[in-house]
């Protein structure tokens, strides 16, 4: 059986806008990652970027379940000895709310060039306004 490979002309990229107000972080991130990868399309192929663009508004109104709001920590390392840095979830939300959803979606995409290309199609905004009205995005209810 041959691997299906969609032609460049067959790929249609649409724009979707999602309101994140009151959504649970992980469930929203998995839906967004599915749309970015294109797994909701019948022409999906794992080796090509056939996904759509996603605009997420009200990223500052995302919620977590349980005690994760107090316990969740984000880590990064400078690659120098003793260079481990951490930031609590509530401080990250206060400083830059888009970071939290971006990290959740990034972890659900492939960890290679293809995943980085897909992540560029994600547009995150803390407010209900976005500058992508010219693309005529469709409102997507989750």
pLDDT in tens, the chain (142 residues): 787 899 999 999 999 999 999 999 999 999 999 999 999 999 999 999 999 999 999 999 999 999 999 999 999 999 999 999 999 999 999 999 999 999 999 999 999 999 999 999 999 999 999 999 999 999 999 8
| Dist. CA 86–CA 3, nearest whole Å | 43
DSSP one-letter string for 82-129: T-EEEEEHHHHHHH-HHHHHHHHHHTTS-SSHHHHHHHTTEEE-SSS-
Domains of the chain: 11-64+96-139 (3.90.1180.10)
Pairing of strands 15-19, 138-139: parallel
**Predicted pLDDT of residue 51:** 97
Q: Give the per-residue pLDDT at 1.
A: 78
pLDDT value of position 62: 96
The pLDDT score that the predictor gives to residue 2 is 82
Q: Cβ atoms within 10 A of the Cβ of 100, count?
A: 22
């Amino acid at each position: 059986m041959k691997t299906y490979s969609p032609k460049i002309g067959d790929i249609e990229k649409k724009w979707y806008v999602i309101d994140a107000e009151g959504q649970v972080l992980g469930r929203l991130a998995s839906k967004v990652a599915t749309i970015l990868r294109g797994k909701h399309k019948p022409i999906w192929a794992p080796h090509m970027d056939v996904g759509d663009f996603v605009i997420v508004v009200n990223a500052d109104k995302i919620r977590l379940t349980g005690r994760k709001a107090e316990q969740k920590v984000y880590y990064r390392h400078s690659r120098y000895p003793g260079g481990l840095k951490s930031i609590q979830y509530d401080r990250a939300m206060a400083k830059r709310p888009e970071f939290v959803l971006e990290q959740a979606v990034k972890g659900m995409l492939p960890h290679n060039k293809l995943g980085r290309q897909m992540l560029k199609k994600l547009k995150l905004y803390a407010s209900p306004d976005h500058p992508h009205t010219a693309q005529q995005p469709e409102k997507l209810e989750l």
